[in-house]
Structure 1
Amino acid sequence: MSGTPHHQPRQALVIGASRGLGLVLADELARRGWHVIATARGDGGELRARADAREGRLAVETLEMTSSGQLAALRERLAGRRLDLLFVNAAMDRGNLPISEVSTEMFTEVMITNALSPLRTLEALRGLVAPGGTVAVMSSEQGSITLNTEDGYELYKASKAALNQLMRSYATRHADDGHTKLLIDPGHNRTRLGGPDAPLLPEESIPAVADVLEAQAGAPGLQFLDRHGNTVPW
């Protein structure tokens, strides 16, 4: 704990922390002294191991983010909490197919997971965020229409562009709620999603992301930022 003896630890809820970037982010915030609640879809084995090591600063909740019922139940369980940060991290990829080879079922699955569910989650849980708190979503440079100049991953790119657009609509609709709103591009990381040849390790990129989240606290409006705090073009 830092600051005066009366200083309360900052409170964060990280949605989608069973592995990859979300797992490392939840652990990093706890390491910095935040009190973190992190969600996993299943038993959250690795997340629970990290929670045990953090001695009370990291708590685990179960959530299937695509389930409205589970979202409502989590909202009830956390009633009365006041969050300084709500961070939604969720994405799936179904491979590098041109759009002509993407089935309707695959398109629907990726769009529900990558675009619809994160915004549903924000709407369900935003009431827990304190005035001056931050609402953030893990996006990707892949969602930038401006930067889409190389072939590949058409469905994933489309889902992240849809996520960004929905977040823009969210920010417009909730312009006066006093929350900082961020879309974060963490870079291309070596995760199950990013693949084994990605140039970055989450242990390298996530501390930088946490720096951005802490530095932007209280900033007005919506920003799309990379891990260095630079603006990513829409």
Structure 2
Amino acid sequence: MRSVLVTGSNRGLGLAIVGRMLTSKSPPGHVFATCRRPEQATELQNLASCHSNLHILPFDVTDFESYGNLVDRVSDAVKDDGLNVLFNNAGIPGKYSRISYFKASHLIETFTVNTAAPIMLTKAFVPLLKQASRSNKHLPMGTSRAAVVNMSSILGSIGLNKDGGHYLYRCSKSALNAATKSFSVDLKSSGILVVSLHPGWVKTDMGGPNAPMTTDRASQHIAQLLCSLSEEHNGGFYSYDGSPLQW
């Protein structure tokens, strides 16, 4: 892939994914890493000092009015090549898991970040994704041509829900999965692949210290999966190891 944008890149898995791409054997010519406060993203700034192809862009996914400016900045860098991969990684866990505790405001906040933001950001970047697909029309569907990767969760699977609870997070990710499916249908004719991805249970602020997998290991799996995505994966929901998940 020539270019990739990863939201929520200041820490955790987003930061690890950016680092993995920058240090790969064939790194993208442009890696766009967004975060709300770049001046506080020390590790990201350290990566930028070593990799001239890393662009750190200030961006709050809840500021919908700023989406056009973000697209313009990416467009100025990629020129006629377009954007190969949009990785909607930014998300929040939801403040409460049980029905007795959460309020409508908590539900709205979680849906805004986890569902509305990736949907609207994908919509905003469709022109650049189509441009990338046209520029690489000799290639099959995949991340080397044009793709949208939505960071979902196994908790968003309705079929695998045996424990209940986690209303905010589950519902927001299930809704994101529904959007993934619709985008995959609507954008297929343009050669743009769209998938939902479960990253595994990872040691992050969201996953907690008891998670069995490090961000480094998770990013390795994800990088391998991204390279293997093809048309047969379009519109699917996959675990970090490539295994399909129930909706």
Would the TM-score normalized by the shorter structure come out above 0.5?
yes
Say which structure is richer in strand.
1
The alpha carbon displacement at 1:66 in A equals 1.3
Task: Report the 3-state secondary structure (helix = DSSP H, G, I; strand = E; otherwise coil) of the residue aligned with 2:117.
Answer: helix
Query: Alpha-carbon deviations, 1:103-149, whole Å to 9, x = none?
Result: 11111000111111111111111222211311111111111001111
Q: CA deviation at 1:11?
A: 1.4
Cα distance in 1 for residues equivalent to 2:204 and 2:194: 25
Q: Is the 8 A contact 1:12 1:87 kept in 2?
A: yes
Q: CA contact under 8 A between 2:181 and 2:194: conserved in structure 1? A: no
Does the 8 A contact of 2:96 with 2:102 survive in 1? no
Shift of 1:83: 2.0
Give the partner amino acid of 1:93: P
Aligned with 1:77 (options 66, 73, 80) = 73
CA RMSD of aligned residues (A): 1.7
Distance 1:209 1:173 in 2: 25
Aligned residues: 225
The residue number in structure 1 matching 2:6 is 14
Which residue pairs with 2:20 in the alignment?
Answer: 28
| Structure 1 stretches lacking a partner, 5+ long | 1-8
Match of 2:139 in 1: none
Identity %: 29
- Secondary structure of 2:236's match? strand
Which of 179, 194, 208 is the aligned partner of 1:195? 208
CA distance in 2, matches of 1:209, 1:109: 27
Letter in 1 for 2:194: K
Alignment partner, residue 43 of structure 2: 46
Are 1:135 and 2:131 counterparts? no
| 1:67 CA drift (Å) | 1.2
**Any conservation in 1 of the 2:187–2:193 contact (CA below 8 Å)?**
no
Partners in 2 of 1:128 and 1:17 — Cα distance?
21
Question: Does the Cα contact within 8 Å between 2:183 and 2:194 map onto a contact in 1?
Answer: no
Q: Which runs of 4+ in 1 moved over 6 A?
A: none
What residue identity is the alignment partner of 1:34? Answer: P
Which of 195, 201, 214 in structure 1 is aligned with 2:227?
214
Aligned partner of residue 84 in structure 2, secondary structure = strand
**TM-score, structure 1 length as denominator?**
0.90
Q: Distance in 2 between matches of 1:118 and 1:215?
A: 23
1:133-172 → structure 2 map (5 Å cutoff): 133-172=146-185
CA shift, 1:69, in A, is 1.9
Q: Secondary structure at the match of 1:176?
A: helix
Aligned-pair distance for 1:217?
A: 4.8
Q: List alignment gaps of at least 5 residues for structure 2.
A: 134-144
Higher helix fraction: Structure 1 or Structure 2?
Answer: 2
